[in-house]
């Protein structure tokens, strides 16, 4: 038996959550509207699956208040947030009533019926094409039917239970970012509202 094998111990949920909190992730609002109702939640468990065809995945806890509406509607919008969206991220990540969540932003309706935050860095209009249960969560496979990139803010990240910002890369030939601006990406800022649940709602 090697030293590493003898030192191995089962990973409990608390240790896993603490380890996952070290990962820096983009912050997204997942929104839906349709026959199943209007709903939304804050998530970081979003990633690309393929670009042929364009597909991404979203993880959602089956106890989430948005679960029924999301799965009944079969459509959703992934709104990627930027600096200045900390308040709306906190509202969608807590127990705030649905109407109050959507009152915090300006929205436009997409072809699928889902709602897009008008100043999101980018919005992905999606149709759910697959679902797989893993533990307490469902992994939703989402076909991307349209993309809109409109926001110009720095990216909003979540790491070690804090919001942080990542300055946009300068365009080719542009002057480097000011040192003070670049330093903001390294400093933690307290999250407004309830802390996000581990990687998803």
User: For the CA atoms of the chain, what is the radius of gyration?
Assistant: 18
Is the pLDDT at 68 greater than 80, yes or no? yes
In the CATH scheme, what is the code of domain 24-190?
2.30.110.10
Q: How far is CA 174 from CA 149, 170, 177, 185, in A?
A: 21, 6, 9, 19
Question: How confident is the model at residue 63, as a pLDDT?
Answer: 94
Domain assignments of the chain as residue spans, ordered by start: 24-190
pLDDT winner (highest mean) among 8-17, 167-176, 192-201: 8-17
Supply the pLDDT for residue 61. Answer: 94
pLDDT score recorded for residue 165: 80
- pTM for this one? 0.78
pLDDT band at 13 (very low <50, low <70, confident <90, very high): confident
* Peptide bond before residue 125 is cis, with ω within 30 degrees of 0: no
């Amino acid at each position: 038996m090697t030293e590493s094998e003898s030192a191995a111990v089962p990973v409990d949920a608390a240790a896993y959550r603490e380890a996952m909190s070290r990962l820096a992730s983009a912050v997204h609002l997942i929104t839906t509207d349709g026959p199943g109702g209007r709903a939304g939640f804050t998530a970081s468990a979003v990633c690309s699956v393929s670009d042929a065809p364009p597909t991404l995945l979203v993880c959602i806890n089956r106890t989430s208040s948005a679960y029924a509406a999301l799965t009944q509607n079969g459509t959703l919008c992934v709104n990627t947030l930027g600096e200045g969206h900390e308040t709306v991220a906190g509202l969608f990540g807590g127990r705030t009533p649905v109407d109050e969540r959507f009152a915090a932003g300006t929205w436009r309706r997409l072809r699928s019926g889902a709602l897009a935050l008008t100043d999101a860095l980018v919005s992905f209009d999606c149709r759910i094409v697959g679902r797989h249960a893993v533990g307490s969560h469902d992994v939703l496979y989402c076909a991307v039917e349209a993309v809109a990139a409109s926001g110009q803010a720095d990216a909003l990240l979540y790491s070690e239970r804090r919001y942080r910002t990542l300055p946009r890369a300068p365009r080719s030939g542009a002057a480097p970012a000011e040192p003070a601006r670049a330093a903001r990406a390294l400093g933690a800022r307290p999250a407004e509202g309830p802390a996000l649940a581990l990687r998803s709602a």
